Amino acid sequence: MILDVARHKFYEGFLTLLLATLTMVVFVAVGVGEASVTPVPYSPFMSLISSATFGISFVEKAAVIILYTISVLSLSRSTIRTHIYPADTIAAMALCAVMTLPMIVGEHALREAFITLFTSLALGNMFFCFGPRRSPNHLFGAMLSASLLATVETTLIVIPIAMGIALIAARKRLREAVIVVVGMLLPLFACCYIAWLSGEGFTESLLAWWRSATTSLNYHIIDTMSIPRLCFLAYALFLTAVASIMNYAQRDTNSHVARGAWRAMHLIFVFVACALLFMPAASDSLLTVAVILSATMLPTYFICNDALISVVSYIALVALAFAASF
């Protein structure tokens, strides 16, 4: 049954993604959420993307749909291949498709779509880093994707920092620590180099990035939220907390990959929460990352509950996500 997300067959998960994508197409086409006004932080990556798309609305909207679909497929594929749940499931496909929908639609849809993509790639590569076949490519890919988040939104620098700490603590090898640091610094160095090529000082981009990360945007995130969005985020947080408790209760039976992946996700979640509370330039992009983490953890909740509770919980989640999109 398509409402029993933990027991989805592939076609049911893909159908959910297809329906969510079609909903995204409609929302993007009619401009759902575009009336809201929030401060736009400094973003060297988005400045480059705007130049590449020439500000053409159709191109940007098409890019949002493509990035959204790739993100969901990439993350769900990684969770399937690394077996981070108590049982094999493709629930992450449906949950990621449903839960990221309200986070992407809006006036900054393209920015949030790139954040969704880079977060999905970072998490997907990170999961492989805890497996028996550890590849430097996955380690570098995880850190590079995570660090690219900081070029899209300055406050997201907490993501590569948290991920780097988790990976270094798990791997404990000098060569791999060097890969983590290089992957983290490369996108920032690239921004400085591009700025230098365009005639600015080599460190000008880095200084602008630092000012943006440490200067208040003079608005509170909660002021930009509707009641449905607050309810959606609160419900997602509650389910994630329950899923974490369930995962902890059966930690002895989890695989080495699952234990490492969950520790890393919890650490990133803590860093995101601290950034939301204490960083002066905190924006709702941090919530997008939090929702993706939540969507990645929630399959455990649906696997460990009986079918009726899972169906009711999933229906409520879908309804709140849809309401939060407006």
Alpha carbon distance 149, 10 (integer Å): 30
Amino acid at 147: S
Residue 188's nearest CA partner among 206, 202, 201 is 206
Q: Within a 13 Å sphere around the CA of 6, how many CA atoms are in the beta-carbon half?
A: 22
Q: Please, is 21 exposed, middle or buried when counting C-beta atoms within 10 Å of its C-beta (0-12, 13-18, 19+)?
A: middle
Please report which confidence band the pLDDT of residue 180 belongs to, taking 50, 70 and 90 as the band edges: very high
- At 8-38, the pLDDT tens digits run 888 899 999 999 999 988 887 776 654 455 5
Please report which confidence band the pLDDT of residue 129 belongs to, taking 50, 70 and 90 as the band edges: very high
Please report which confidence band the pLDDT of residue 222 belongs to, taking 50, 70 and 90 as the band edges: confident
Summary mean pLDDT of the chain? 88
The answer to whether the beta carbons of residues 136 and 142 sit under 8 Å apart is no
Amino acid at 172: K
User: Mean per-residue pLDDT for 132-159?
Assistant: 90
Residue 95's nearest CA partner among 13, 168, 179, 186 is 13
Alpha carbon distance 65, 93 (integer Å): 16
